[in-house]
Amino acid sequence: MLHSDLIRVNDLLITVLLHSGSRWPSKGSKPTAQPVHVSLAIPHDISSTARSDDLSQSINYSTLASTLRTSLSPAAASLEEPAFESLEQIVFRCFDLLLLPEPTSTPRLPGAQIRVVQLKPPLHCQALAVEGVATCGADASWRLIELHHIVENLECYPIVGVNPAERLERQLVRINITVNDPSATGMSVHWLDFRTLTRRLHQKVEATSYLTLEALASFVAVETLQHLQSNSNGIIDYNPKVSIKAAKPCALVFADSSEVEITRVSNDYPTELHSSPRSLNHSASGDMHSAAIALGSNIGDKFQNIELALRLLENPLSVVTDRSTLSDNAFLFVVNTSFLYESAPMYVTDQPSFINCACMIETNIPPVVLLQLVKKIEEIVGRRPSFQNGPRAIDLDIVLYDELVLDTRMPQEQLTPDNLSVDLVIPHPRMPEREFVLRPLFDMIPEYVHPSLHKTLSTLLHELLLVSNDPPMEKVLVFPRYPLPPNVSSPLSGIGPVPSTLTFWRYTDSKSVRKVQSKTKGRTRLMATLNATPDSFSDGSTHNTIPSALAYIRQAARASVDIMDIGGYSTRPGAAFVSVDEEIDRVVPIVQAMRSAGSTTIEEDNEEIRRVKEMPISIDTFRWEVTEKAILAGANCINDVYAFTGPQNYPYPALEVDRQQNNESMRQMKGLARKFAVPVVLMHSRGDAGMNKDYSAYSYSDDGAVIEAVREELGLKVDQIVKGKGSIRRWNVIVDPGIGFSKTVEDNLELLRRGGAVTADTLIGRVPSKRKNPLTGFPQLIGTSRKSFLGVVLANARGRSAEAKDRAWATASAVSCAVQQGALVVRVHDTHEMSDVVAIADALWR
Ligand SMILES: *[C@@H]1O[C@H](CO)[C@@H](O)[C@H](O)[C@H]1NC(C)=O
Ligand SMILES: *[C@@H]1O[C@H](CO)[C@@H](O)[C@H](O)[C@H]1NC(C)=O
Ligand SMILES: *[C@@H]1O[C@H](CO)[C@@H](O)[C@H](O)[C@H]1NC(C)=O
Ligand SMILES: *[C@@H]1O[C@H](CO)[C@@H](O)[C@H](O)[C@H]1NC(C)=O
Ligand SMILES: *[C@@H]1O[C@H](CO)[C@@H](O)[C@H](O)[C@H]1NC(C)=O
Ligand SMILES: *[C@@H]1O[C@H](CO)[C@@H](O)[C@H](O)[C@H]1NC(C)=O
Ligand SMILES: *[C@@H]1O[C@H](CO)[C@@H](O)[C@H](O)[C@H]1NC(C)=O
């Protein structure tokens, strides 16, 4: 508890970067510099200083004040520190600064009281303040014991008074509101939406015409309590106390009572606040919440389990059919996904590895009901009851829900992070020690501030990696098995059949800096191209008949090719138009021939035939009609040089005339990629491959214009594909910088030379609006094979040109560079030769 002697510093004026008061997910709001007053009080026994007048016994106020000033103001904050999302966050940051132990400093302070006042608050009120009291925990932490939210001098003009003269005109009423949050129970709403509250109160109060100020104050209390309740996310036992002070400054002429003060809790209004917090009537609020759900699987077809769970999650009404639990208007959308990871089992190590990922959802389902939904999904996907942390078909954890801090367990059980089987603890208590939870969250919301640890997820992950001795988690890319068997069924109507897994690729981020090296060395994957086009630039018409195509594919299988890329429409500048039907006729029979290899002729059922049958096939097309037919025939991956935006895609977002067509292409391709759960290769391009080579608009970037352009332009499309309602899973995306498409020779060389920078974890954009590289962490496919820029370099160096088919050695050099830059896949024609090149390059650099 706080000691009775207090040392105060009052009204320290500090300028901070503050978002408009709207908080995470901050929908693009720009932070602005705002003045705040910070006051602090530190409990301190002054008796010894008072007696001795000894400076060393006293607390140095000037150091405290300057620590706060320098650490909170934007000069220090601009780069490392995110802007503050709310006043609460500033208060918590002050506690961090004052109460967390520092190696150099004098003894730790026992506790502190902080008040932060926003001096330029929303309309209609004079100041907003958040006041907190915290004490030091035993370890390196602090504990919040009180939190107050204060609105000062909300000014409204209602009709109020008994006097006939008073009832003719509106008059000024000033209202102060204090909300006391019973944080000590650990079940608090730390964040108050001041803006919505003051707007609501102002509107409602102006419409009243009470006779007495007492009635008006009581009305304000009810409105405030209702607002708090509707924002409490159905927390059980959330019981805030509000104090209302109301004054009529101009009332004295009427000799009226000019000021009242009341304090109320919701039990004081049994009829007005009829829906008690326990009844969870979410249809009444109809609002939207963001939550993060972690998924893990370690038995059966893990990838199929995860995909099925996600589809079930998006169909909450089919999963929970009891409408007294889940109302008719319940919705849930998966709006963002992480990458997919394979991790060694934790705690109980004698079991198969886990596949982990996480997703962000938007929903109107309150947390306690959401828990029932995920339990039901675990049951449907086939969770078998097993020992804690043991094997399971699917495990779903609600790890975050808005900024909620919630523990539904009995107080005596709250001391342990386990025993969660039927209860809900948010944020998930073991999150800080679990890389397999933190890392997927970091992919999506690195700047989210953990509501009780007060650190960003990025900080938590880095702290964990500093002490971790585990090998790095590997990312995984999954190919589903097509064609589907004729009668696969779905566990629920409304959900398409989820394919089983054909194969999957593990890979590590080459840039992940770890103490411990990966146990499995990464391997660059080889994609062979098969152009089923009579006019393809590089191999003429050699493969446009089924037998010669199959011969080429068998040869590729011998060269350990990992994936076959089949295209029927050349993207070469000036290539002849091919109709949709013609394109389908060119590619689909080859896909069918591969999938039925060995079954028609009487061939020996050898290893090579098996490899041809099981080889992942990607379909190189930008047309959804072709994509659909090819996947139904057995293709497992989409490779689209226009990244779902169609050929008329430059500049992008498209010009008015092309928008409709692009939109349709995006919608259809996203729909197919989602329905079939196939990986997609999204390439950077700017319309016609021979044009639009000007990147000067990006010359501001230190990383060079063309690299920045690919991050920005392809990033825009990738964002549109992996974010929001109806988006595809992040782990299903491979990016391709589009070497040879709308780029000069030097641009192509630069993209190859510094290819790793395209997907680096860095900031992009111009200075005031820097943002995270949207391509961060995606695996890359690099295609250089036989491309004309290699011919130009050869011609310049040797004084003679090299035909496409004579560029194999030049390609070898380029492929080697792509491997060194960390490409996951290289796309080649000369499979036999490049297989050797990749083997040596992998041995050198992976
Ligand atoms: C407080 O610290 C500052 C610098 O850290 C120093 O200049 C000042 O003399 C100190 N004041 C007292 C009263 O110790
Ligand atoms: C509201 O609080 C402010 C600041 O503490 C004070 O000046 C003002 O008199 C209060 N108003 C009422 C109605 O109590
Ligand atoms: C839930 O809210 C709806 C709409 O406001 C209301 O009609 C219904 O009676 C409420 N149900 C309960 C159980 O409070
Ligand atoms: C809680 O967990 C402990 C140890 O894991 C176990 O012994 C205990 O029975 C559990 N309690 C409940 C209520 O599940
Ligand atoms: C993922 O979605 C969340 C919530 O909509 C958003 O805040 C975040 O920026 C997204 N992350 C990425 C990397 O797109
Ligand atoms: C699935 O198809 C096979 C033959 O193709 C048939 O024997 C089997 O009964 C079918 N199963 C169901 C559930 O329809
Ligand atoms: C794209 O289509 C959707 C509906 O399919 C529509 O709501 C949206 O406005 C369209 N966007 C453009 C840019 O045309």
Please state the rounded mean pLDDT for residues 696-717. 94
- Determine whether the shortest distance from the Cβ of 105 to ligand 1 is under 6 A: no
**Rounded-to-integer distance, Cα 541 and Cα 535, Å:** 7
pLDDT at 698 over 80: yes
**Rounded-to-integer distance, Cα 630 and Cα 650, Å:** 27
Q: Which ligand lies nearest to the CA atom of residue 280 in the structure?
A: 3
- Determine whether the shortest distance from the Cβ of 336 to ligand 5 is under 6 A: yes
pLDDT level of residue 741 (50, 70, 90 thresholds): very high
Does some domain include residue 472?
A: yes
Q: pLDDT for 191-227, tens place per residue?
A: 677 888 888 899 889 888 888 888 899 899 988 988 8
Which of these three, 450, 480, 510, is where a domain ends?
480
Is the bond leading into 491 cis (omega within 30 degrees of zero)? no
**Rounded-to-integer distance, Cα 372 and Cα 378, Å:** 10
Token readout for 44 is 């301190």
pLDDT at 736 over 80: yes
Which residue has better confidence, 225 or 82?
225
pLDDT at 543 over 80: no
pLDDT at 756 over 80: yes
User: CA separation (Å) from 569 to 458, 587, 619, 640?
Assistant: 44, 9, 11, 11
Does some domain include residue 500?
A: no
- Phi-psi sector, 308: left (phi>0), alpha (psi -120 to 50), beta: alpha
Ligand 5 atom nearest 24 alpha carbon: 7
Please state the rounded mean pLDDT for residues 349-375. 89
C-alpha 92 to ligand 6 mean position (Å): 61
- Residue 209, SS3 per DSSP: strand
Q: pLDDT for 47-56, tens place per residue?
A: 655 666 655 5
Lowest mean pLDDT among 30-34, 687-691, 816-820: 30-34
Please return the burial class of 220, using the count of CB atoms within 10 Å of its CB with bins 0-12, 13-18 and 19+. buried
pLDDT at 608 over 90: no
C-alpha 468 to ligand 5 mean position (Å): 27
CA–centroid distance for 399 within its chain:
13
Q: What CATH number is given to the structural domain containing 41?
A: 3.30.1130.10
Which of these three, 480, 507, 537, is where a domain ends?
480
Instruction: Kindly state whether residues 540 and 450 are assigned to the same domain.
Output: no
- Determine whether the shortest distance from the Cβ of 152 to ligand 2 is under 6 A: yes
pLDDT at 183 over 70: no
DSSP per position, 80-119: TSPPBSSHHHHHHHHHHHHHS--SSSSSPPSEEEEEEEES
pLDDT value, residue 386? 46
- Determine whether the shortest distance from the Cβ of 60 to ligand 1 is under 6 A: yes
Specify the number of domains making up the chain: 4
- From 351, 336, 401, select the one nearest 371 (Cα to Cα): 401
Tell me which DSSP letter residue 833 carries.
H
pLDDT value, residue 25? 38
Q: pLDDT for 442-466, tens place per residue?
A: 999 998 888 878 888 999 999 898 8
Q: Among 273, 275, 369, which residue has the most ligand 3 atoms within 8 Å of its CB, making it the best to mutate?
A: 275
Instruction: Kindly state whether residues 311 and 188 are assigned to the same domain.
Output: no
Does some domain include residue 640?
A: yes
Which of these three, 100, 120, 140, is where a domain ends?
120
Residue 576 phi/psi, 5-degree rounding, is: -70, 145
Q: Which amino acid is at 452?
A: S
pLDDT level of residue 103 (50, 70, 90 thresholds): low
Instruction: Kindly state whether residues 106 and 177 are assigned to the same domain.
Output: no
Instruction: Kindly state whether residues 49 and 160 are assigned to the same domain.
Output: no
Does some domain include residue 146?
A: no
Token readout for 234 is 């159905």
Does some domain include residue 142?
A: no
Instruction: Kindly state whether residues 200 and 331 are assigned to the same domain.
Output: no
Please state the rounded mean pLDDT for residues 484-488. 82
- Residue 317, SS3 per DSSP: helix
- Residue 540, SS3 per DSSP: strand
Ligand 4 atom nearest 421 alpha carbon: 14
Instruction: Kindly state whether residues 828 and 691 are assigned to the same domain.
Output: yes
pLDDT value, residue 335? 96
Residue with the smallest CA separation from ligand 5 atom 11 is 444
Instruction: Kindly state whether residues 537 and 654 are assigned to the same domain.
Output: yes
Q: What CATH number is given to the structural domain containing 672?
A: 3.20.20.20
Mean pLDDT score across all residues of the chain: 83
Does some domain include residue 515?
A: no
Residues whose CB is less than 8 angstroms from the CB of residue 104 and which lie 6 or more positions away in sequence, other chains included: none
Q: How far apart are the first and last CA of the chain?
A: 56
Lowest mean pLDDT among 160-169, 523-532, 576-585: 160-169
**Rounded-to-integer distance, Cα 286 and Cα 364, Å:** 6
pLDDT value, residue 541? 52
pLDDT over 90, % of the chain: 42
C-alpha 671 to ligand 7 mean position (Å): 14
Instruction: Kindly state whether residues 471 and 595 are assigned to the same domain.
Output: no
User: CA separation (Å) from 308 to 562, 573, 592?
Assistant: 26, 42, 27
Residues whose CB is less than 8 angstroms from the CB of residue 775 and which lie 6 or more positions away in sequence, other chains included: 710, 711, 714, 715, 718, 735, 758, 759
Please state the rounded mean pLDDT for residues 383-387. 46
Find out whether 438 and 432 touch, Cβ atoms under 8 Å. yes
CA–centroid distance for 154 within its chain:
37
Please return the burial class of 165, using the count of CB atoms within 10 Å of its CB with bins 0-12, 13-18 and 19+. exposed
Instruction: Kindly state whether residues 362 and 242 are assigned to the same domain.
Output: no
Instruction: Kindly state whether residues 257 and 312 are assigned to the same domain.
Output: no
DSSP per position, 600-667: SS-----HHHHHHHHS-EEEE-S-HHHHHHHHHHT--EEEETTTTS-S---SSSPPHHHHHHHHHHHH
- Rounded to a whole number of angstroms, the CA Rg of the chain reads 31
Instruction: Kindly state whether residues 475 and 600 are assigned to the same domain.
Output: no
Strands 474-480 and 341-343: antiparallel
pLDDT at 674 over 90: yes
Crossing angle of the two packed helices 580-595 and 546-558, in degrees rounded to 10: 50
Tell me which DSSP letter residue 350 carries.
S
Does some domain include residue 494?
A: no
**How many residues are listed for the chain in this entry?**
846
C-alpha 249 to ligand 4 mean position (Å): 60
Q: What CATH number is given to the structural domain containing 379?
A: 3.30.70.560
pLDDT at 517 over 80: no
pLDDT value, residue 773? 95
pLDDT at 388 over 90: no
pLDDT at 637 over 80: yes
Note down the domain range covering 38: 1-120
Instruction: Kindly state whether residues 109 and 162 are assigned to the same domain.
Output: no
- pTM of this structure: 0.67
Please state the rounded mean pLDDT for residues 622-634. 96
Which residue has better confidence, 720 or 350?
720
Residue with the smallest CA separation from ligand 4 atom 9 is 419
pLDDT level of residue 685 (50, 70, 90 thresholds): very high
Crossing angle of the two packed helices 194-206 and 213-230, in degrees rounded to 10: 140
Does some domain include residue 520?
A: no
Which residue has better confidence, 657 or 564?
564
Strands 395-401 and 406-407: unpaired
